[in-house]
């Protein structure tokens, strides 16, 4: 009993550290990025403005562009997205969307995204717990402390994009799918998954990938479920009813919007046909498939989507090294564990292992479609599979025994420092040759320009550092508790 309470206490302490680390770095992103945001922020802000005024944006034209003090022409790049994120943002910021006070609206929406990002930390921890057959708390904390510190995720958590809400809903849907496979497809769980599915499809079209995995998981769980024992007619009826709910509810909630996209562009995922964009060269599908960046993006862009200097190398090089080491550690662990693998592996547990990977593969397919033509290869489009990154980094760190806590803290610190490096690069208007410390200082300067005392930046930096230390300490304690529990069971 005492050991269980001690384990629970250190788990909560570790998760508090993971939340503190993310919250500090995400607030730095929200408060230390210029109010104009990154390239597409203005289109998302315009979408919020139009929803606040009872409209959906058309594919062409921006009604609210504070950068020019009025409306502007050209493509409305956010118009292909469903309206849920923008409706939620309009509720909290719509009244501030005037050319005299738009900065306040930007701040409110950024803080909303920080909340979504913080909720994602907890959702990632939940999925990690469900994915761990041995229920290792150290693993749960390590996953939660690493995955959400992905540089682009931190950046978008402090900006105006719908990707963070998408990531939260995708992670929750993956968790519901795994729980369904573990505990059986109960009606409350089906209703919850259907509601998340509806919200996801009203957030971004790529949620269809996660929904497909959830439907597959429900089918497996339904056919393998042994409780209660029903006759085949009743069991078949229950399966059809549950599958129907999971399919129909998201469809009914979002079909109207995707029908609009089809009417506008001929494609349910776009509001306008593919056309030349920003001087980018046109790429065929084979061009994209022949680009090594397409395959490396998930590991190459961990520490930033654009290649910039970091720790004497490039952030992409450090990303690949960090990811490579993690994958090697997992491979060594898997080889060593093979003789001890359980013989009671079920179809459900195979699907549980493959579900997050299936989401990642689906996101790669969506990335291929997006990059074909005039699109880009960007880790942002793989956000729904954020949990996979956590399972890799968190899993690798916790294979190191008594230094697992130190390893996790080090990974978190490197990822946080990379995020600061990237935010500083943006704050200095992206010049080459600016060092890491100067970039970090420029973030503080940007926060001062936003009317905040410089001390607030320093406090957030201290909170981030202390939170990483707390994560490391908690994992170290949890590893010792788990080692003692394992020894006593033998």
Instruction: Categorize the per-residue pLDDT at 469 as very low, low, confident or very high, splitting at 50, 70 and 90.
Output: very high
Q: What is the chain's mean pLDDT, rounded?
A: 92
Residue 31's contacts (CB-CB under 8 Å, 6 or more residues apart) are 107, 158, 447, 450, 452, 456, 457
Positive or negative torsion for Cα 131, 132, 136, 138: negative
pLDDT, residue 321, reads 96
For residue 326, tell me if it sits in a domain. yes
For residue 278, tell me if it sits in a domain. no
pLDDT in tens, 291-305: 999 999 999 999 999
Residue 348's contacts (CB-CB under 8 Å, 6 or more residues apart) are 181, 182, 220, 221, 224
For residue 279, tell me if it sits in a domain. no
pLDDT in tens, 220-278: 998 888 766 767 777 888 889 999 999 999 999 999 999 999 999 999 999 988 877 77
What is the span of the domain harbouring residue 128? 2-273+285-339+346-489
The segment with the largest mean pLDDT, out of 73-82, 92-101, 206-215, is 206-215
Q: What is the pTM of this model?
A: 0.95
For residue 177, tell me if it sits in a domain. yes
Mean pLDDT value of segment 164-191: 96
Positive or negative torsion for Cα 38, 356, 393, 192: positive
For residue 476, tell me if it sits in a domain. yes
pLDDT, residue 232, reads 74
- Give the C-alpha separation, 326 to 331, whole Å: 9
Q: Which of 183, 52, 31 is nearest to 106 (CA)?
A: 31
Instruction: Report the 10 Å Cβ neighbour count for 186.
Output: 15
pLDDT, residue 227, reads 67
**How many distinct structural domains can be found in the chain?**
1
Backbone angles phi, psi at 92, to 5 degrees: -95, -15
Q: How far is CA 82 from CA 109, 162, 383, in A?
A: 17, 10, 17
Angle of CA points 352, 354, 360, to nearest 5°: 125
For residue 280, tell me if it sits in a domain. no
């Amino acid at each position: 009993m005492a050991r269980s309470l001690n384990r629970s206490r250190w788990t909560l302490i570790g998760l508090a550290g993971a939340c503190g680390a993310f919250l500090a770095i995400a607030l730095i992103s929200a408060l230390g990025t210029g109010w104009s945001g990154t390239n597409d922020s203005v289109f998302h802000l315009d979408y919020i403005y139009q929803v606040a005024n009872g409209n959906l944006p058309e594919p062409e034209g921006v009604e609210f562009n504070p950068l020019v003090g009025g409306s502007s022409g050209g493509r409305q790049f956010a118009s292909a997205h469903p309206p849920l994120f923008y409706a939620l943002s309009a509720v909290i910021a719509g009244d501030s969307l005037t050319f005299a006070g738009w900065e306040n609206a930007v701040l409110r929406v950024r803080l909303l995204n920080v909340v979504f990002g913080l909720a994602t930390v907890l959702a990632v921890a939940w999925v990690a717990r469900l994915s761990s057959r041995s229920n290792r708390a150290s693993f749960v904390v390590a996953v939660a402390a690493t995955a959400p510190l992905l540089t682009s995720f931190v950046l978008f958590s402090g900006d105006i994009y719908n990707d963070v809400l998408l990531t939260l809903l995708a992670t929750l849907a993956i968790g519901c799918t795994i729980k369904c496979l573990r505990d059986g497809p109960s009606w409350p769980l089906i209703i919850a998954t259907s509601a998340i599915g509806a919200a996801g499809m009203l957030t971004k079209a790529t949620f269809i990938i996660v929904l497909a995995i959830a439907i597959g998981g429900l089918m497996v769980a339904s056919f393998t479920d042994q409780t209660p024992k029903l006759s085949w007619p009743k069991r078949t009826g229950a399966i059809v009813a549950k599958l129907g709910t999971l399919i129909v509810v998201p469809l009914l909630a979002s079909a109207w919007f995707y029908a609009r996209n089809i009417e506008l562009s001929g494609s349910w995922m776009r509001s306008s046909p593919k056309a030349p964009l920003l001087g980018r060269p046109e790429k065929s599908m084979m061009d994209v498939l022949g680009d090594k960046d397409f395959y490396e993006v998930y590991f190459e862009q961990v520490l930033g989507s654009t290649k910039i200097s970091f720790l004497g190398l490039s952030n992409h090089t450090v990303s690949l090294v960090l990811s490579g080491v993690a994958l090697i550690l997992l491979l060594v662990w898997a080889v060593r564990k093979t003789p001890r693998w359980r013989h009671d592996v079920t179809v459900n547990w195979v699907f549980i292992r493959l579900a997050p990977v299936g989401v990642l593969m689906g996101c790669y397919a969506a990335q291929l479609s997006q990059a074909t033509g005039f699109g880009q290869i960007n880790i942002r489009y793989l956000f729904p599979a954020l949990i996979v990154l956590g399972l890799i980094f968190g899993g690798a760190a916790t294979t190191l025994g008594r230094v697992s806590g130190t390893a996790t803290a080090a990974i978190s610190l490197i990822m946080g420092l990379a995020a600061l490096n990237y935010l500083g690069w943006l704050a200095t208007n992206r010049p080459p040759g600016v060092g890491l410390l100067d970039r970090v200082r420029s973030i503080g300067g940007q926060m001062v320009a936003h009317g905040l005392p410089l001390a607030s930046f320093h406090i957030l930096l201290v909170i981030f550092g202390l939170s990483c230390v707390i994560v490391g300490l908690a994992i170290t304690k949890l590893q010792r508790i788990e080692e003692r529990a394992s020894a006593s069971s033998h």
